[in-house]
C-alpha cells in the first residue's frame, strides 16, 4: 500500500507541475541538450500521415485499401547507446536513419524509444529515471522522431517496455523498486498500476514540435505492450489493451513474445496485432505462423528478423501472401555525425546502401520487396554532405565528411585556387576520412554525394591554408565543444541548431593555434553575436567580424580557445561553426600501433588491434593486460604541449589517466590537462596540455586499483616542443614482420613496421624481384603501421617488400630498404579431418559431435562403410519444430587447411536432400550445400564454393585457423545421414592460364589544368606486366591524336571535363581503366573602373566591373574591396555590374575587385585602382 500511495502522490505532484519543474531544472548529461521539449509548435512541421491505419479482422487498411508494409527496427531513436555511450541521439542521426528507411521503401519503423525507464535514477536520461517520476526533457528526441517520420510518410510501432534489461530499461523497473519478482509484473496490482502510470504519462503527451497529442497522431500505427514479453496472461493483455484504447481509440495495440506464437495473444479479442521475431527467418516458417495468427482473426507482423537473411528467397514467396502484413528487419543504423556510419556489433547491422557486397545485396533485396508491396523506393533527394574536419598531418591533409542518406558514393574534390576541381577520390561513406597525398599548399575542398538517378548534392566548400586544419561543428550536439553555457539544441525539420536557454549563451571550442572562425546563422542578427579568442580561458579578446551570405567570420584570432556568445532575447540560432587553426608543429606523433616511439614503459601493456570500427578507425591502442599499475613514457626536448586520445568503455567507471612531466626523468610533477569528451561506440576523451616549460619527459599512468584493466585505452599521443622548426621529411623507421628471409609464410601475410616520426602516410610495394621491377602489389596511402597483402601470392615463391614514409616535406625509406619472405609450398599430402576409426562407441561419437541445441534432436551411432569396411558415423535426426538439425565438431587445436582445394567425404543420404557443410575459420562461419544422391556417394566441395551463411557476417576466408566443422540438414520430417572419411582435397598444380592485366592502383591526372598547361597521365599500378597505351577524352569523346602520356590543354577544352583512359595489354587480355576527370576552367580577366579617381567624402563613387570569359557568369558575384570594406556586384549576362562604394574619409585608397571562381571558371583579381578622397 505504501508503494501504491507513493506512485499516486508522485502523479499528483506531476499534475501540479512540481515534479516537472524539478526535472526540467536538473542538469542532464545528454549529448543533445533538450530545449526542444519547451519549443512552441512551428509551421514547417507537416505530416503526410493524415489517416489512421485501421484493422479489418486479420488485415490492416489505410483509407479503405489494404495496407501491407516493409519495415525496420530503429530501436535507438529516443535514447542511443552507440555513439559516446548512452546519450540522446542527434537530430541528424534520427533524420538520416528515417530518410534511409524511406529510401529503402519502408513505410513502418519499430522503435524502443518509449521503452525508456530505469531504477533509482540509474539512467537520468530516461523518460522515467525513477519509478513514478518523469523526465519530460527525454521527449525531445521522441517528439522529433515522430514529427519527422510523419513528414516523410513513415508510421511507427512503439513498444512500451521490454522483457530484457537493456540500457533503455525494461519491465523489471516496475517490480524491483517495489521489492517484487519480475513475473509479478503481470499479476501484482502495484506493479500493474506503476506500468499503467508510465503508459498513461506517454499517452498524455502532446508533441512539442507539431502540437499534436501522441494519441491523435496517425503516425503512431500501434502501441506494443512490450518487446518480447515472455509471461503475459490473457487477463493482463486484455486489461492493458483496454487501458490504451480508452486513451488512444484510433490507434492499434500489438503484443507478442520472441520466437513462437503466444497463445494468450490470440485469445484477447481487443488485441489487434500479434508480433513475432525470427533469427533466422525462413519463408516457410513465416508463412506458417502468419496463417495461424490470421486464422485466429489477428493481424500478423514479423516485428523483427535478422537482416542477414534478407534475400529474394525469403521475400518472393511472401510478397503475394496477404497473411503477412509486415516484415521488419533488425536493425537499421545511420551515418555518424562526424563521418562514416554508426557502428553496431550484434551481427545484424544494416547500413544503406551497404558496407559489404553481402549487405548491398541485402539492401537491394529489401528495396525490391518494398516495390513488390507497392511502395516507392529510392524516393528521397540527396541532402548535401558536410565536411566535418580537414586534418593536417605533417603537411598532408585528410578530409572527413558526414554522409547523406540515399547516396551510394562520394567524390572528394580539391581546388588549388585556379577555379578547376580535381577528384581526390570517389569512395563509399565508410571510407571517411580520405587522405589526400596531393594536398600540399593552400586548397579548397568539397564533397559531392552521388547516387544513380538522383541529382548530385554538393557540400559547402571549405578552404584550408597550407599549414592549417579545419574542424566543422554542425551543432547537432555540444559534444565537440569544450564548454557551453545557457545553450541547447533545438529541432527543425532539417536537424538541430544551437539556441539560448538562458540569458547569456556561449559555446567554447578548443582549437590550438586558432586563426579564424565562421558561424552560419539560422536566425537573428550578426550584430548580436560576439566572437572571442583566448589562450588560457580567463582572458578573452573580442574579434572584429564580417558578414557574408548569412555567415559571420572572425579572422586574426589567437590562442587555443574560441568562444561565441549572444543574449537570449536576440533570437539567435546557430547552424554551423567552422574553426580554422594552425597548431604548433608536433615534435612526436605516436599512433601507438606499437611501442617503438616510447622511451620506456612499465607494467603489463599490449597493443589492442581489434574492433577497429568501434574506435573511429583507430587501428592500435595501448592497454593494460592486468589491473596492476602501468605507465608509458615519451622523451622530447623542451616539451610545450601534449595531446592525448583515450578510449573509455561506456558502461564502466571513468578512471582518469594521470599525466606527469619531468625534466630529468626522475622527479615527476602531476600535470592538469583540459579533458573533453568525444564521440564513438567507445567513449573518446581528449586530454590537452599547453604552455608547458622545463620538461623533457611525459609519462601517462593508469591507476591500477580501479576499474577493468582493458579500459581506458590510449589511442595516440602528440608532443609539441619549442625546439621544433619547419616540417622535415619523416624520421627513420624499420621493417618488422615477416622478418627478412622468413619462410613458410601462408596465404597473404600482414606486413608490419615501426612508426616513422612525422610520417603522414606510408606506401607499400611488393614484388617478385629485389629491384622491384616486377611489382605484384602497390598500396594506396596507408596511415597505420601495418598492411595486409590483397593479391593471391604464388605458393613456394620469394617476395620482396619495401615501405616508404611520406609527408609534405619529403619521404624516407625504411631500414632495411627492403625485406623478403618465401611463401609456403602447396601441400602434397591429403589431411584427414575425421575417419571415425578412433571412437570406441556411440557415446564417444556423440561427445565429439554434439548437436546444435537450437535445432532438432540428433541420435549418434557407429556403423560401417560397406565400400571400405571401416567405421562410419550415423546421425538420425528429427527436423520437427526448428526446421533444421546439425552436429558440430570442435577441434582441440585449430587446423591449418591453407593451400588445399576443398573438402571431400563419403555420405549416405536420400536423393533430393541437401547436405549443408559448415566450418569456422579464423572465427568466421562458412557454408556450402551439396545435393544428395541415393545411397553411398563420394562428395567434393571446393573452398571457392563456400560463403558465409545468411545469418553470419561477411569475412575473408582464412584457412590457416580452422576451429570447427559441422553438417546440417534443413527442412521437415526425420531421416538419417551417414558420413565417413572427411578429408581435404589437394590443389590443382597445373600452371594457370594467362590472365588479363589487373589494375591495383587507379590511374590519375596531374599537372596544370589551365589552357596552355600540360596534363600528365599517372598510369597507376598494374599486375601482369602489361604494355600501356593512353587515350585522352573531352566530355567523354576521344580527342584526336591525344594518345601520349602528356596532353597540352587547348582553348577548346575550356569548361570541359578531361580524362584519360589507360589501356593495359598482355598475353591474357586487355583491361582499360579511366582516370577521374578534371575540369578545365574557363579563362577569366577582371576589369575595374571607377566613376572618378578623385572625389569628396560626400561623393558617390561608382565601381564598374567586367569579367571577360567565355563562360556564362550571369548572376555570379564579384567582391569590390576598399579600406577593409566590401561591396558585392552581381554580374549581368555580359559579365558586367556596377556598385556604389561605401562612404570614405579623407585619404588615398586602393580599390580592388575579386572573383572567387567556380567549379569550371577560374578566379580572377583586377588591377588595383587608386581613389583619392579630398575632404
Q: What is the CATH number of the domain that holds 1035?
A: 2.60.40.2700
Question: 3-class secondary structure for 909-943?
Answer: ECCCCEEEEEEEECCEEEEEEEECCEEEEEEEEEH
Half-sphere exposure of 153 (CA within 13 A, CB side): 14
Q: Which one of 372, 407, 435 terminates a domain? A: 372
Number of C-beta neighbours around residue 703 at 10 A: 13
CA–CA separation, 396 and 433 (whole Å): 13
CA quadruple 69, 71, 75, 77: dihedral, nearest 10: -90
651-675: burial string, b at 16+ Cβ within 10 Å, e else: eeebbebbbbbbeeeeebeebebee
Q: In the numeric block, which cell numbers belong to residue 425?
A: 577520390
Quote the distance between the C-alpha of residue 833 and its chain's center.
Answer: 41
- Domain for residue 321, yes or no? yes
Half-sphere exposure (CA, 13 Å, Cβ side) for 762? Answer: 26
Give the separation between CA 464 and CA 441, rounded to whole angstroms.
9
Taken in order 1047, 1052, 1053, 1056, the sign of the CA dihedral is negative
Let me know if 1103 is exposed, middle or buried by CB neighbors in 10 A (0-12, 13-18, 19+). Answer: buried
Assess if residue 65 is contained within a domain.
no
Asked if residue 1103 is part of any domain, the answer here is yes
Between helices 18-25 and 2-16, what is the axis angle to 10°? 80
Q: Are 177 and 242 in contact (CB under 8 A)?
A: no
Q: Are both 709 and 768 inside the same structural domain?
A: no
How far apart, in Å, are the Cα atoms of 57 and each of 2, 270, 318, 944, 1067? 43, 11, 20, 50, 69
At 521 the pLDDT is 93
CA 1128, distance to chain mean position in Å, is: 40
Measured between alpha carbons, how far is 25 from 29 in angstroms, rounded to an integer? 13
**C-alpha–C-alpha distance, residues 194 and 48, integer Å:** 35
Question: Helical H runs in 888-1037?
Answer: none
The β-bridge relationship of strands 434-436 and 422-427 is unpaired
597507376: which residue's cell? 1020
pLDDT at 705: 55
Question: Distance (Å, rounded) from C-alpha 424 to C-alpha 433?
Answer: 12
Q: How far apart are the C-alpha atoms of 932 and 915, rounded to whole Å?
A: 7
Q: Is residue 32 part of a domain?
A: no
The C-alpha atoms of residue 375 and residue 68 are separated, in whole angstroms, by 9
Rounded Cα gap, residues 365 and 309, in angstroms:
10
Of the three residues 788, 823, 858, the one that is the final residue of a domain is 823
DSSP codes joined into one string, 817-878? S-EEEEEPPPP-SPPEEE-STT--SHHHHHHHSPBPTTS--EEEEEEE-TTT-SEEEEEEEE
Task: Say yes or no: 806 and 918 in one domain.
Answer: no
- Same domain, yes or no: 409 and 354: no
Instruction: Kindly state whether residue 111 falls inside one of the protein's structural domains.
Output: yes
Q: How many domains does the chain have?
A: 7
CA quadruple 905, 909, 911, 914: dihedral sign: negative
What confidence tens digit (pLDDT) does each residue in 808-819 have?
889 999 999 999
Cα(270)–Cα(576) distance, integer angstroms: 50
Q: Are residues 280 and 211 in the same domain?
A: yes
Q: Cα–Cα distance between 742 and 765 in angstroms, integer? A: 17
| Residue 1097: Cβ within 10 Å count | 12
Looking at 823, 844, 871, which one is the last position of a domain? 823
Same-domain check for residues 976 and 1009: no
Given this model, what pLDDT does residue 613 score?
66
Q: State how far the Cα of 104 lies from the Cα of 366, in Å rounded to an integer.
A: 7
Return d(Cα 874, Cα 908) in angstroms, integer.
9
d(Cα 833, Cα 983) in Å, to the nearest integer? 5
639 belongs to a structural domain: yes
Are 281 and 143 in a shared domain? Answer: yes
Beta bridge partners, 850, equal none
Q: What three-state secondary structure class fits 301? A: strand
What is the maximal distance between C-alpha atoms in the chain?
Answer: 118
Backbone Cα Rg of the chain: 33
Q: What does the DSSP 8-state code read for residue 129?
A: S
Query: In the chain, which residues have pLDDT < 50?
Result: 1-42, 680
Q: Are 1096 and 1165 in contact (CB under 8 A)?
A: no
Residue 434: which domain range? 386-581
Residue 215 within any structural domain of the chain = yes
**Is there a single domain that holds both residue 890 and residue 780?**
no
Angle ∠(6,10,16) on CA atoms, nearest 5: 145
d(CA 554, CA 558): 11
Can you tell me the distance from the alpha carbon of 253 to that of 53, in angstroms, rounded to the nearest whole number?
Answer: 12
**pLDDT tens readout for residues 399-455:** 999 999 999 999 999 998 666 888 999 999 889 999 998 877 889 999 999 998 899
Whether the model clears a pTM of 0.85, i.e. scores above it, the answer is no
358 lies in the same domain as 398: no
CATH of the domain at 178: 3.20.20.80
Say whether both 474 and 590 belong to one domain.
Answer: no
Residue pointed to by grid coordinates 533466422? 280
> Do 168 and 255 have their domain in common?
yes
Please indicate, yes or no, if residue 912 is contained in any of the structural domains: yes
Predicted pLDDT of residue 335: 96
CATH of residue 1093 = 2.60.40.10
pLDDT score recorded for residue 706: 63
Instruction: Check residue 990 and report its DSSP letter.
Output: S
CATH number, domain containing residue 938:
2.60.120.430
Q: Does residue 21 contact residue 122 with C-beta atoms inside 8 Å?
A: no
Quote the CA–CA distance of 985 and 830 in Å, as a whole number.
6
CA nearest to 279, candidates 751, 898, 1112, 949:
949
- Same domain for 1045 and 1154, yes or no, is no
Q: Would you state the cell numbers that stand for residue 1116, as one nine-digit string?
A: 555570379
- The answer on 563 and 473 residing in a single domain is yes
Amino acid at each position: 500500500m505504501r508503494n501504491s500511495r507513493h506512485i499516486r502522490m508522485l502523479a499528483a505532484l506531476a499534475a501540479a507541475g512540481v515534479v516537472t519543474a524539478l526535472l526540467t531544472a536538473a542538469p542532464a548529461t545528454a549529448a543533445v541538450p533538450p530545449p526542444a521539449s519547451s519549443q512552441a509548435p512551428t509551421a514547417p512541421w507537416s505530416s503526410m500521415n493524415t489517416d489512421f491505419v485501421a484493422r479489418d479482422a486479420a488485415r490492416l487498411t489505410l483509407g479503405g485499401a489494404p495496407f501491407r508494409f516493409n519495415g525496420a527496427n530503429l530501436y535507438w531513436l529516443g535514447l542511443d547507446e552507440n555513439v559516446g555511450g548512452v546519450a540522446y541521439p542527434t537530430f541528424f542521426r534520427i533524420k538520416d536513419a528515417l530518410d534511409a528507411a524511406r529510401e529503402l521503401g519502408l513505410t513502418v519503423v519499430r522503435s524502443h524509444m518509449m521503452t525508456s525507464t530505469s531504477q533509482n535514477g540509474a539512467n537520468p536520461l530516461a523518460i522515467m529515471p525513477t519509478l513514478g517520476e518523469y523526465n519530460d526533457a527525454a521527449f525531445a528526441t521522441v517528439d522529433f522522431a515522430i514529427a519527422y517520420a510523419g513528414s516523410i510518410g513513415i508510421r511507427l510501432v512503439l513498444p512500451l517496455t521490454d522483457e530484457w534489461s537493456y540500457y533503455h530499461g525494461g519491465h523489471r523497473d516496475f517490480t524491483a523498486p517495489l521489492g517484487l519478482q519480475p513475473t509479478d509484473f503481470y499479476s501484482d496490482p502495484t506493479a500493474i498500476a506503476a506500468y499503467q502510470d508510465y503508459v498513461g504519462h506517454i499517452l498524455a503527451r502532446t508533441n512539442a514540435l507539431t502540437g499534436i497529442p501522441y494519441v491523435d497522431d496517425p503516425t503512431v500505427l500501434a502501441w506494443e505492450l512490450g518487446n518480447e514479453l515472455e509471461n503475459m496472461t490473457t487477463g493482463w493483455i486484455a486489461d492493458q489493451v483496454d487501458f490504451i484504447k480508452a486513451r488512444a481509440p484510433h490507434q492499434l495495440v500489438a503484443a507478442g513474445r520472441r520466437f513462437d506464437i503466444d497463445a494468450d495473444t490470440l485469445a484477447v479479442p481487443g488485441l489487434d496485432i500479434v508480433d513475432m521475431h525470427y533469427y533466422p527467418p525462413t519463408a516457410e516458417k513465416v508463412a506458417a505462423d502468419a496463417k495461424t495468427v490470421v486464422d485466429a482473426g489477428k493481424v500478423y507482423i514479423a516485428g523483427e528478423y535478422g537482416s542477414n537473411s534478407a534475400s529474394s528467397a525469403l521475400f518472393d514467396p511472401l510478397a503475394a501472401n496477404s497473411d503477412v502484413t509486415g516484415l521488419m528487419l533488425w536493425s537499421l543504423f545511420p551515418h555518424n555525425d562526424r563521418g562514416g556510419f554508426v557502428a553496431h556489433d550484434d551481427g545484424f547491422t544494416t547500413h544503406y546502401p551497404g558496407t559489404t557486397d553481402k549487405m548491398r545485396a541485402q539492401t537491394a533485396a529489401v528495396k525490391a520487396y518494398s516495390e513488390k508491396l507497392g511502395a516507392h523506393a529510392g524516393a528521397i533527394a540527396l541532402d548535401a554532405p558536410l565536411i566535418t574536419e580537414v586534418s593536417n598531418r605533417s603537411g598532408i591533409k585528410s578530409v572527413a565528411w558526414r554522409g547523406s542518406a540515399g547516396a551510394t558514393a562520394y567524390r572528394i574534390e580539391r581546388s588549388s585556387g585556379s577555379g578547376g576541381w580535381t577528384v581526390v577520390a570517389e569512395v563509399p561513406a565508410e571510407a571517411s576520412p580520405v587522405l589526400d597525398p596531393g594536398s600540399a599548399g593552400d586548397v579548397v575542398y568539397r564533397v559531392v554525394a552521388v547516387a544513380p538517378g538522383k541529382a548530385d548534392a554538393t557540400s559547402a566548400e571549405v578552404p584550408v591554408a597550407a599549414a592549417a586544419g579545419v574542424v566543422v561543428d554542425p551543432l547537432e550536439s555540444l559534444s565537440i565543444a569544450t564548454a557551453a553555457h545557457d545553450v541547447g539544441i533545438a529541432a527543425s525539420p532539417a536537424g538541430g541548431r544551437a539556441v539560448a536557454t538562458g540569458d547569456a549563451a556561449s559555446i567554447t571550442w578548443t582549437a590550438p593555434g586558432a586563426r579564424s572562425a565562421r558561424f552560419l546563422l539560422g536566425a537573428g542578427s550578426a550584430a548580436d553575436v560576439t566572437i572571442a579568442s583566448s589562450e588560457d580561458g580567463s582572458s578573452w579578446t573580442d574579434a572584429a567580424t564580417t558578414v557574408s551570405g548569412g555567415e559571420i567570420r572572425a579572422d586574426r584570432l589567437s590562442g587555443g580557445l574560441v568562444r561565441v556568445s549572444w543574449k537570449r532575447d536576440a533570437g539567435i540560432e546557430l547552424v554551423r561553426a567552422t574553426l580554422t587553426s594552425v597548431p604548433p608543429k608536433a615534435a612526436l606523433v605516436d599512433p601507438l600501433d606499437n611501442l617503438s616511439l616510447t622511451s620506456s614503459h612499465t607494467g603489463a601493456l599490449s597493443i589492442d588491434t581489434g574492433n577497429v570500427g568501434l574506435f573511429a578507425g583507430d587501428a592500435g591502442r595501448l592497454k593494460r593486460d592486468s589491473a596492476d599499475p602501468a605507465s608509458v613514457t615519451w622523451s622530447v626536448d623542451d616539451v610545450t604541449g601534449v595531446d592525448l586520445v583515450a578510449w573509455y568503455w561506456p558502461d564502466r567507471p571513468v578512471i582518469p589517466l594521470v599525466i606527469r612531466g619531468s625534466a630529468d626523468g626522475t622527479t615527476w610533477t602531476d600535470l592538469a590537462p583540459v579533458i573533453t569528451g568525444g564521440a564513438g561506440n567507445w567513449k573518446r576523451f581528449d586530454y590537452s596540455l599547453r604552455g608547458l616549460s622545463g620538461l623533457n619527459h611525459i609519462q601517462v599512468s593508469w591507476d591500477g586499483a580501479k576499474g577493468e584493466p582493458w579500459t581506458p585505452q590510449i589511442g595516440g599521443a602528440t608532443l609539441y616542443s619549442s625546439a621544433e622548426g619547419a616540417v622535415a621529411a619523416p624520421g627513420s623507421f624499420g621493417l618488422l614482420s615477416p622478418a627478412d628471409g622468413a619462410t613458410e609464410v601462408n596465404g597473404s601475410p600482414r606486413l608490419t613496421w615501426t612508426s616513422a616520426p612525422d610520417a603522414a602516410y606510408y606506401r607499400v610495394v611488393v614484388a617478385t624481384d629485389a629491384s622491384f621491377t616486377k611489382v605484384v602489389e602497390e598500396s594506396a596511402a596507408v596511415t597505420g603501421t601495418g598492411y595486409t597483402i590483397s593479391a593471391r601470392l604464388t605458393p613456394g615463391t620469394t617476395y620482396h617488400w619495401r615501405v616508404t614514409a611520406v609527408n609534405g616535406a619529403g619521404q624516407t625509406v625504411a631500414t632495411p630498404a627492403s625485406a623478403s619472405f618465401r611463401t609456403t609450398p602447396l601441400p602434397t599430402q591429403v589431411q584427414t579431418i575425421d575417419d571415425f576409426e578412433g571412437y570406441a562407441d556411440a557415446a564417444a561419437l556423440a561427445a565429439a559431435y554434439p548437436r546444435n541445441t537450437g535445432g532438432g534432436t540428433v541420435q549418434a551411432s557407429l556403423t560401417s562403410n560397406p565400400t571400405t569396411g571401416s567405421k562410419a558415423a550415423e546421425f538420425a535426426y528429427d527436423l520437427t519444430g526448428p526446421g533444421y538439425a546439425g552436429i558440430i565438431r570442435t577441434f582441440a587445436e585449430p587446423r591449418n587447411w591453407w593451400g588445399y582445394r576443398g573438402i571431400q567425404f563419403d555420405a549416405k543420404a536420400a536423393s533430393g536432400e541437401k547436405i549443408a557443410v559448415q566450418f569456422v575459420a579464423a572465427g568466421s562461419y562458412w557454408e556450402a550445400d551439396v545435393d544428395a544422391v541415393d545411397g553411398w556417394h563420394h562428395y567434393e566441395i571446393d573452398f571457392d564454393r563456400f560463403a558465409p551463411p545468411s545469418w553470419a557476417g561477411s569475412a575473408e576466408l582464412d584457412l590457416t585457423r580452422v576451429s570447427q566443422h559441422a553438417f546440417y540438414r534443413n527442412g521437415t520430417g526425420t531421416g538419417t545421414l551417414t558420413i565417413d572419411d572427411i578429408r581435404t582435397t589437394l590443389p590443382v598444380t597445373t600452371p594457370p592460364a594467362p590472365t588479363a592485366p589487373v589494375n591495383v592502383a587507379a590511374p590519375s591526372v596531374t599537372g596544370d589544368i589551365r589552357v596552355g598547361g600540360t596534363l600528365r597521365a599517372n598510369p597507376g599500378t598494374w599486375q601482369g606486366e602489361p604494355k600501356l597505351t593512353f587515350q585522352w577524352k573531352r566530355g567523354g569523346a576521344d580527342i584526336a591524336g591525344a594518345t601520349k602520356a602528356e596532353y597540352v590543354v587547348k582553348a577548346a577544352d575550356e569548361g570541359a571535363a578531361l580524362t584519360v583512359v589507360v589501356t593495359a595489354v598482355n598475353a591474357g587480355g586487355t583491361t582499360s581503366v579511366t582516370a577521374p576527370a578534371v575540369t578545365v576552367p574557363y579563362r577569366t580577366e577582371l576589369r575595374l573602373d571607377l566613376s572618378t579617381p578623385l572625389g569628396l567624402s560626400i561623393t558617390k563613387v561608382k565601381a564598374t566591373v567586367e569579367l571577360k570569359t567565355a563562360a556564362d557568369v550571369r548572376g555570379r558575384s564579384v567582391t569590390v574591396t576598399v579600406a577593409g570594406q566590401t561591396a558585392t556586384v552581381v554580374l549581368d549576362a555580359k559579365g558586367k555590374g556596377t556598385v556604389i562604394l561605401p562612404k570614405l574619409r579623407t585619404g588615398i585608397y586602393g580599390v580592388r575587385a575579386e572573383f572567387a571562381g567556380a567549379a569550371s571558371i577560374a578566379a580572377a583579381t583586377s588591377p588595383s585602382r587608386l581613389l583619392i578622397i579630398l575632404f
